[in-house]
Amino acid sequence: MVTIRTAALILAALVPGAVAVSAGVPPWSAVAVIAVVVVLAVSIDFALAADPKALRLKRSGDTAVRLGEQASSELSVHNGQDGTARLLVRNAWVPSAGLQKHNYTFSLRPGQRVALPEDFKPTRRGDRPSLGVTIRSFGPLRLAFKQATHHPDWTLRVLPRFESRKHLPEKLAKLRQVEGATAIRGRGQGTEFDTLREYVPGDDVRSIDWRATARRNDVMLRTWRPERSRRVVCVLDTGRTSAVRVGDEPRLDAAMDAALLLAAVAQEAGDQVDLIAADNRARAVVSGVTGRGLLPKLVNAIAPLQPSLVETDFEVIISEILRRERKRSLVVVFTALEPGALGEGLLPVLPKLVARHQVLIAAVHDPALAELASTPVTDATSVYEVAAGTRALMERQKISVALAKNGVSVLDCPASTFASQVTDAYLALKAAGRL
C-alpha cells in the first residue's frame, strides 16, 4: 500500500517531466521514466519496511476496575527483526472502555521493546474487550507500508459502582445494636440465647430464668440475640423490566447496588448469602461462598450482567430457589412492581415460595410516574398524562396489596434511598426474629 507521499512524489516528478517535454523529449518517454522511477522507489521502500506480523505484542496491567474509576495497562511491542521498524499503531477498544489515547507513532530498532500506556475511564459496566491492534510498518522513505492486525487477548471487566458502600458504617452500627454488641444494648428479639443478667424493673417478666434465679438467690433474666448463620437469597430480575432507566442507570444497576450492600451487612451478621440472577433462565448463581471472599465473588458474577429483553419467567426462578435452598431463608426479589409481570407471572406461583421462605419484594420507584400524576392540567395532553400516571400508581398499589395478602413484604422506594432501605428492612426482620 502507498502513502500520500507517493502522490507527492509523482507531482514533484511532473515538473522535470514537463521541462523535458518542452525540450523536445517525447511525452510518452517522459511519462515512462516518471512511472519507472516512482514504481522503483515505492517497491524498494515497501521491501525495506519491517514485517508487522513478525512483531510480538503483549499486555499487562489492570483487568478489573470499578465503574467511574480509572484503570491502566501497558501494550508491549517488541521488534525481533534485523531492520528498524517505523510504526503507526492503532489501538482499538470498544468506545465504552474509555481508552484515552488510540494512536502511537514511533520507531523500533532491532531487538528493541517499547511499552505503550493504556489509560481507561469506562462509561459502562460489564466486560470491555480489546478489538485488536492494527500496525502499519513504513519504509525508510514512507512511500509505502505493510499492515497487519494483532489480537492480543485482553478484557477489562468494569465492576458495579457500589455507591451504597458509603452507608456501610451506619448499617454495621445498626447491626451491632440489633445484636446487642453496643454499649446501648437493647433486649435482642431473636431466639438464640445470649447471656444472663440481673432483672431490672421494666424488663419483660417472660424472660426471667427461674432456674438461674433459684441458684443465684436473685432474679435473673435471659437476654437473646438475633439468630446467626441464617440464609439470605438475593434474586436479581434481569428481564425486560430491569432495562427501564431510573435516572441515569438501568433499574438493574440499582438492584445490584442494593444487593451488594445487603450482602456486606448480612456477611458481617454471620448469615449465609446466595445470589441468583435470572429472567427466562439463570444468568448467574453464587452459592456457598463465605468470609471475605463473598463480595468479590458477587461483584465479579454480576458485573457482566445486562438486561435481557424477554419476559421474566418467575416459575423458573422459584423452582431454582426451591431446588437450591432447603433451609428457611430470607428471599429478597429485586424486580419491578409491574402488574403484568408480577400479576401474571409471580402471583400464581408465589404460594410455593412463601410456604418455605420469608419473601421480600424490593422495587425501585420510577419518579417519572409521580411527575406524570402531578402534571398541571392545562390542555388535553396534560389530562391524558395525569390519567396515565395516576393509573400506573394505582396499579402498583394494587399489586402491592395483592402481594401483602400472600404474606410477602413489599418495599417500593426511589433509587436514591433504595439500597439503604433494603438493608434496613433486613435488619428490622432480623431484630424481630423473623429470619
387-425 confidence digits (pLDDT tens) = 887 887 788 888 888 888 888 999 988 888 999 999 999
- Of all residues in the chain, the percent with pLDDT exceeding 70 is 92
pLDDT at 192: 56
Mean pLDDT for all residues in the chain = 85
- In this prediction, residue 186 carries a pLDDT of 42
Residue 110, C-beta contacts closer than 8 angstroms, at least 6 positions apart: 79, 80, 81, 82, 83, 84
32 or 191: which leads in pLDDT: 32
Domain boundaries 52-159, corresponding CATH code? 2.60.40.10
Q: Where are the alpha helices (DSSP H) in 325-356?
A: 350-354
User: What pLDDT is attached to residue 38?
Assistant: 79
Average pLDDT over residues 282-296: 89
Q: How many angstroms separate the CA atoms of 323 and 375, rounded?
A: 47
**Do residues 83 and 50 lie in contact, with contact meaning Cβ atoms separated by under 8 Å?**
yes
CB 211 within 8 A of CB 193: no
Q: Give the Cα separation of 298 and 264 in Å (integer).
A: 10
- Report pLDDT digits (tens) over 61-120: 999 999 989 999 999 999 998 889 999 999 999 999 999 999 999 999 999 999 999 999
8 A C-beta contact, residue 192 and residue 160: no
* pLDDT of the residue at 23: 67
| C-alpha grid cell, residue 301 | 458474577
CA 419, 422, 426: angle at the middle one, nearest 5?
140
pLDDT at 377: 74
What whole-number distance in Å separates Cα of residue 434 and Cα of residue 428? 9
Model pTM greater than 0.85?
Answer: no
Give the tens place of pLDDT for each residue, 246-274.
Answer: 877 889 999 999 999 999 999 998 899 99
Residue bearing cell 493504556: 118
415, 370 Cβ separation under 8 angstroms = no
DSSP string covering 269-301, please? TT-EEEEEEESSSEEEEE-S--GGGHHHHHHHH
156-184 per-position pLDDT tens digit: 999 998 999 999 999 999 888 887 644 33
The average pLDDT across 203-231 equals 75
Cβ atoms of residues 319 and 221 within 8 Å = no
Least confident of 9-23, 37-51, 138-152, 373-387: 9-23
C-alpha distances (whole Å) from 432 to each of 11, 219, 361, 404 are: 88, 25, 18, 18
pLDDT per position as a tens digit, 5-34:
787 777 777 677 676 667 666 776 766 777
Do residues 263 and 273 lie in contact, with contact meaning Cβ atoms separated by under 8 Å?
yes
Query: Are the C-beta atoms of 321 and 313 separated by less than 8 Å?
Result: no
Contact (Cβ atoms closer than 8 angstroms) between residue 227 and residue 429: no
pLDDT (average), residues 37-47: 86
DSSP SS3 for 241: helix
Superfamily of domain 228-431: von Willebrand factor, type A domain (3.40.50.410)
